[in-house]
C-alpha cells in the first residue's frame, strides 16, 4: 500500500474499534474507486467489509476483534481431500 494515501476505512462503529491492530486499510483509488488491504497486501473489496462485519459480531459476543482468520482456509481442490478408503480399479 502506498504510504501517501489516507486510510478512509470505517473501523470504529458506535465506539467499538473493529481494527485494534490496524491491519485493515481502505484507500481511494483513481481507477477502481477504492482499494482494500490486509496487512499491506491487496484484498477484495467485499472481503474487507465481510471481515469488518465478522469483527463487529465478535465484539458484540464479547470476543476479541483483533484475532482474525483471513487466509487460513485454502479451499477444496484436486488432491486436497483424503479418502478414508482405497478405490478398487
Residue 66 predicted with pLDDT over 50 = yes
Q: What is the mean pLDDT of residues 50-67?
A: 83
Q: Which residue has the cell 488491504?
A: 37
Confidence of residue 15 (pLDDT cuts 50, 70, 90): confident
Confidence of residue 88 (pLDDT cuts 50, 70, 90): low
β-pair type (24-29, 41-43): unpaired
Close Cβ partners of 58 (under 8 Å, ≥ 6 residues apart): 64, 65, 67
Nearest to 22 by CA among 44, 45, 55, 47: 55
Q: What is the pLDDT of residue 42?
A: 92
Q: Which three cell numbers stand for residue 8?
A: 478512509
Whether the CB-CB separation of 31 and 20 falls below 8 Å is answered with no
Amino acid at each position: 500500500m502506498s504510504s501517501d494515501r489516507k486510510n478512509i476505512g470505517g473501523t470504529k462503529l458506535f465506539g467499538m474499534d473493529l481494527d485494534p491492530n490496524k491491519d485493515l486499510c481502505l484507500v481511494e483509488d483513481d481507477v477502481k474507486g477504492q482499494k482494500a488491504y490486509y496487512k499491506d497486501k491487496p484484498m477484495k473489496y467485499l472481503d474487507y467489509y465481510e471481515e469488518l462485519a465478522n469483527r463487529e459480531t465478535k465484539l458484540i459476543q464479547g470476543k476479541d476483534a483483533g484475532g482474525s482468520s483471513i487466509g487460513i482456509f485454502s479451499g477444496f481442490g484436486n488432491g486436497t481431500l483424503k479418502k478414508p478408503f482405497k478405490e478398487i480399479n
